[in-house]
Structure 1
Amino acid sequence: MPGQLLARGVGRALRSHDFVSVEELVPSAGLRVDVMALGPKGEVWIVECKSSRADFQSDHKWQGYLEWCDRFFWAVDSDFPTELLPDDTGLIIADAYDAEIIRMSPETKLAPARRKVMIQKFARHAAIRAQAARDPAFVSGF
């Protein structure tokens, strides 16, 4: 899947910036972010991976992600028509192996209570994924 390949490249690049990331995290009912990253000082970034113009144009939920992060980015490949993306969001050019931040997202700091919730969701999501990798038969029953 093209979006998953972009997410892999984004995760690798974010790691080089000392961020750790998870894929497909649900910040609230009805929303599922492609990549959520957690920085060394507790920063929360959300990255939405778009593989085509149609993929971007069909995404009507992305503005709902803004209240769940300090910075919001789009990750697209080098052929994507970036003029479609809002100027007040971050831009990452990615492929399956790496990514580069082209435009830094403006920062809107999360409230402390919301940050605590997101860090807990991140930790639980990461732990469930790790447990599923160790014991897939057990975790898949939940």
Structure 2
Amino acid sequence: MATRSAVAAQRSASTDPAPLSAADVARGISRWFWNRQAVCLTEVILPGGRRVDVMALHSDGTLSVVEIKVAVADLRGDRKWPDYLAWCDRFYWGIPAGFDAALLDEDCYEPGSCGLLIADRYEADALRTPQVEKLSAPRRKKATALFARAAASRVMRAADEFLGSAEGGFG
């Protein structure tokens, strides 16, 4: 499936009256990964309680994490994102169409190693490719098991309303 360019995504943002939420951006980013044979989960809870916006498991077993920012104040105030680097092979910033991508060129956001995705509700485009920092085998095993348990718990809760909606550490 062909995707629109980032320019087209930016153009569509100006004609859509509703601002894009983090959930909208996550949807477009998830579709982008799907088109690259990767599966995604949103809001994955890591050990220590940090919550990743999007985690993607690629067909080769590598993992990507995306930190979504829809407001400049949220971007400027975020000090937790470096904690996510230990849980992925690739790290991306995800922003909505219309967000000033130049803000993520500042050194504090590590533009030389972090990727950048721009998304709308339907798709995304990569503005910058991240460096690959391979996880160690023990960390990959732990991260992949975390992803699998989160996915399985969501499937189980969706199939059985009596299991409840509490995360219970399963995400």
Shorter-normalised TM range: over 0.9
Partner of 1:70: 89
1:97 maps to a residue whose letter is Y
CA distance in 2, matches of 1:8, 1:136: 24
Q: What's the offset of the Cα at 1:136? A: 2.7
Secondary structure class of the residue paired with 1:76: strand
Partner of 1:134: 159
5+ residue gaps, structure 1:
none
1:36 counterpart (55, 77, 83): 55
1:102 maps to a residue whose letter is L
CA distance in 1, matches of 2:93, 2:165: 30
Cα deviation code 1:40-96 (max 9, x no counterpart): 010100001111111211211001111111000011012111122131210001011
Q: After the TM superposition, which of the residue ranges 86-95 and 114-123 deviates more from structure 2?
A: 86-95
Please say if residues 131 and 139 of structure 1, whose CA atoms lie closer than 8 Å, have aligned partners that are also in contact. Answer: no
- Root-mean-square deviation (CA, aligned residues, Å) is 1.4
| Equivalent residues, number | 142
Partner of 2:8: none
Larger radius of gyration: 2
Query: What fraction of aligned residue pairs are identical, expressed as a percent?
Result: 39
- Length-normalised TM-score, structure 1: 0.94
Partner of 2:78: 59
CA distance in 1, matches of 2:54, 2:25: 10
- Length-normalised TM-score, structure 2: 0.79
